[in-house]
Amino acid sequence: MAADDDLMDVPSRLEQALAAMTNVELARLYRLAQYSLIGGTTYVNPKELFNEAVHRTLDGRRNWPPGEPFGAYIWMVMRSIADADRKMEAQSNELRANDQPVQDDFYQESDRLAGYGSSELAVDRVLENAAVQRRVTEDLQTIEDHFKDDQNVMLVIMAIEDNIPPRELESDYGLSITQYESARKKLRRYVDRQFPGRRTV
């Protein structure tokens, strides 16, 4: 009976959790969903994956333990759904590949060796790229820490990172174009002060 009570209470718990989420928190969940799609799944966008996770929670296929934070729970569910979907897709691709005629050994070997000798594989290039990536990550963390309490700027940062157009921010998160431009100017001023000569936004 207790399990039935918990299941019956899920819709109201979900409603409360979703209503309490800020736009930034929702955008972060969509970003996590986007990361889950890396590697190929049948889900075409992060919102579809997020909605599927919510749907499976509502119909009881996924159990949301009482007391577990919604963000952590739904992220785990999205990862699990995407992983399972990716495995099924890989199995389907393998079956389709097995139905294809076998290529000549020469061409198979050529395909395996195609990447060797590429300048992108040079040790110094790899180290250089890693150093640049590390610096970018550190700089971004500094910016996000500074604006962590400014919801509009955080939305703009996420939009820049994920190539989300301003109109989509307006339709999905209620951030008007005026608010967007104001937040972007604030971000630019801070970046100019913190990282002179390095702004690209």
Residue 127, token pair as written in the block: 């180290």
pLDDT tens digits along 134-181: 777 778 788 888 887 888 888 888 777 777 788 877 777 778 888 889
Q: What six digits make up the tokens of 103?
A: 């290529």
Q: How much of the chain exceeds pLDDT 90, in percent? A: 13
Instruction: State how far the Cα of 114 lies from the Cα of 83, in Å rounded to an integer.
Output: 29
Please state, rounded to an integer, the average pLDDT across all residues of the chain: 76
- Cα(28)–Cα(17) distance, rounded to whole angstroms? 15
Q: Are 49 and 200 in contact (CB under 8 A)?
A: no
Residue in the structure block whose two tokens are 């339709």? 171
The pTM of this model reads 0.52
DSSP state of 124: H
Which helix (H) or strand (E) segment holds residue 171: the answer is helix 166-173
pLDDT at 135: 75
Domain locations along the chain: 2-100, 121-194
